[in-house]
Amino acid sequence: MSTKILVAYYSSTGNVHQLAAAVAAGAESTGAEVRLRRAPELAPDEAVAANPAWKAHLEAVSDVPDVTPDDFVWSEGYALGTPTRYGLPAAQLKQVIDGLGPQWQNGDLANKAATSFVSASNAHGGNESTLIALNNVYSHWGAIIVPSGYTSANPYTAGGNPYGTGYASGGATDTPLPDEYVEAAKAQGARLAQVTRLIQPLREKP
């Protein structure tokens, strides 16, 4: 049976969406079954409509299903992605996390491999703090945190971030990511799937 990986993310203007697609592709390259899911939009329609890039991106990804708690239960490993919001994860992703109380209580999130990816506008504008904030959540969930580390050549050419792939967008909206970031995110997804497979014995019920 193939390894089940959930890639759940929020993106307003497409940068994190592209990272999510690359993480998913990397996991799939190892033979994993992957669900790519997005956090539902919480912002009012007027706010989205006032930002053409935000509106265009939301329309472009209307075929990506919203993530549900059942996706987390189904998964054996998960990757969470978010833009930085003042150095923290976006409220849309946090709302998903906060909706997982029953699954946390039931142990459905524990002993699963977990990793994160992020985009901030500035290189030093909160990529790392956002990734580390998500590690706090993983600790509560009893997940096994899978950092990118320097386990492939990619982190060196993609900003040197060992916590997870972090793309400094410079405020770009829906422009293709540089190849090195796509490759770093793919390597991260592959590593997540590999670790997920290795820790399978942890998830076996006695």
Closer CB to ligand FMN, 149 or 171, in the complex: 171
Closest-by-Cβ residue to ligand FMN is: 125
Query: Is residue 15 near ligand FMN by the rule CB under 6 A?
Result: yes
Nearest distance from residue 206's CB to ligand FMN, in Å? Answer: 42
Ramachandran quadrant class, 107 (left: phi over 0; alpha: psi -120 to 50; beta: rest): left
Closer CB to ligand FMN, 32 or 131, in the complex: 131
* Sequence-separated (6 or more) residues with CB below 8 Å from residue 97: 80, 89, 137
Binding mask 84-123 vs ligand FMN (x if CB under 6 A, - otherwise)?
Answer: xxxx-------------------------------xxxx-
The distance in angstroms from the start CA to the end CA of the chain is: 20
- Among residues 35, 51, 40, 29, the alpha carbon closest in space to that of 96 is found at 40
52: phi then psi, degrees, rounded to nearest 5? -55, -35
Closer CB to ligand FMN, 6 or 90, in the complex: 90
Query: Is residue 161 near ligand FMN by the rule CB under 6 A?
Result: no
Nearest distance from residue 45's CB to ligand FMN, in Å? Answer: 16
Binding mask 26-55 vs ligand FMN (x if CB under 6 A, - otherwise)?
Answer: ------------------------------
Closer CB to ligand FMN, 2 or 122, in the complex: 122
42: phi then psi, degrees, rounded to nearest 5? -110, -20
Burial (CB count within 10 angstroms: exposed 0-12, middle 13-18, buried 19+), residue 45: exposed
Q: How far is CA 156 from CA 33, 36, 80, 160, in A?
A: 28, 26, 22, 4
Nearest distance from residue 81's CB to ligand FMN, in Å? Answer: 8
Could you count the other beta carbons within 10 Å of the beta carbon of residue 204?
7
Closer CB to ligand FMN, 78 or 167, in the complex: 167
Nearest distance from residue 118's CB to ligand FMN, in Å? Answer: 8
